């Protein structure tokens, strides 16, 4: 399976990516993570990205695409992948398609996970992060805990700025304006499926797998 995971902040993309990665034995490629790793490993593209980020500027699409290319060509992606966090614009989608053509990848499917806006706000506003290790938890996961389950730091939980309601609403507006056209781009090519992200994690995953199998068989 070659999957592009798509959806607004808070719909559960990360959770579903983790499950799919484990059950389908394919890597979860978070573009943010691979960018940071390229910088850490001091690859040629990573060093270029670091220089740009150190100036407080956004890394250009051509560098991000180059880093994605390095990963997709690696052995770990020989049986498929889950691409998360890219593309965010139609221009990026077109650049990604050019890369797919170059790598002879013809079966990538965009998986669009949806959720009600009020539910998204409730989910994100109900998260807490650890100041020390950065791990994120729901309030129910850390109820009555004073130490982080990941790093054991004490009294380290806090509400991130981008999980505050007013910020979430702005993020969702940006998503609707700038990112949603990506769905139209893939839908026009019959390369997209939509999954309702409401329900238990297991229920959503079952719907996702069922839709993917249906799409692959039809294709």
pLDDT tens digit sequence for 42-60: 888 888 888 887 777 778 8
- 7 in any annotated domain: yes
Please state the rounded mean pLDDT for residues 20-29. 92
Structural domain of 20: 2-26+79-116+180-218
Q: Is the pTM of this model over 0.85?
A: no
pLDDT one-digit tens code per residue, 117-126: 898 999 899 9
Active site residues: 13, 88, 127, 160, 171
Please state the rounded mean pLDDT for residues 158-174. 90
8 Å CB contact between 81 and 30: no
Q: What CATH number does the domain containing 109 carry?
A: 3.40.50.300
Question: pLDDT category, 219, cuts 50, 70, 90?
Answer: very low
- 141 in any annotated domain: no
Question: pLDDT category, 64, cuts 50, 70, 90?
Answer: confident
- 110 in any annotated domain: yes
* Other CB atoms within 10 Å distance of the CB of residue 20: 22
At residue 174, does pLDDT exceed 90? no
Rounded to the nearest 10 degrees, the angle between the axes of helix 13-24 and helix 201-218 is: 60
pLDDT at 36 (0 to 100): 80
Domains identified in the chain, total number: 1
Please state the rounded mean pLDDT for residues 175-192. 93
1: CB partners within 8 A, 6+ apart: 20, 24, 26, 80, 82, 109, 212, 216
Instruction: Write out the two tokens for 63.
Output: 């560098």
What does the alpha-carbon distance between residue 156 and residue 84 come to, in Å, rounded to a whole number?
28
pLDDT at 162 (0 to 100): 86
- 201 in any annotated domain: yes
pLDDT one-digit tens code per residue, 75-105: 999 889 999 989 989 999 999 999 999 999 9
- 88 in any annotated domain: yes
pLDDT at 217 (0 to 100): 56
Dihedral sign, CA of 128, 9, 99, 61?
A: negative
- 129 in any annotated domain: no
- 155 in any annotated domain: no
- 52 in any annotated domain: no
Question: pLDDT category, 188, cuts 50, 70, 90?
Answer: very high
Instruction: Name the average pLDDT for the chain.
Output: 89
Give me the phi and psi of 80, to 5 degrees please: 135, 180
């Amino acid at each position: 399976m070659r999957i592009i995971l798509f959806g607004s902040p808070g719909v559960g993309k990360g959770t579903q990516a983790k499950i799919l990665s484990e059950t389908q034995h394919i890597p979860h490629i978070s573009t943010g993570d691979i960018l940071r790793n390229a910088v850490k490993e001091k690859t040629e593209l990573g060093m270029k990205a670091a220089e740009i980020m150190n100036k407080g500027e956004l890394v250009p699409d051509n560098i991000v695409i180059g880093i994605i290319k390095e990963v997709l060509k690696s052995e770990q992606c020989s049986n498929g992948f889950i691409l998360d966090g890219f593309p965010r614009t139609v221009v990026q989608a077109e650049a990604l398609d050019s890369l797919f053509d170059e790598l002879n990848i013809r079966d990538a499917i965009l998986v669009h996970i949806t959720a009600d806006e009020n539910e998204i706000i409730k989910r994100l506003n109900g998260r807490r992060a650890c100041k020390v290790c950065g791990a994120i938890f729901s309030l129910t996961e850390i109820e009555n805990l004073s130490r982080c389950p990941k790093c054991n730091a004490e009294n380290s939980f806090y509400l991130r700025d981008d999980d505050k309601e007013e910020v979430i609403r702005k993020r969702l507006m940006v998503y609707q304006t700038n990112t949603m056209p990506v769905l139209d781009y893939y839908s026009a090519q019959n390369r997209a499926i939509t999954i309702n992200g409401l329900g238990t994690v297991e229920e959503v995953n079952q719907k996702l797998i069922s839709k993917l199998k249906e799409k692959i068989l039809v294709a």
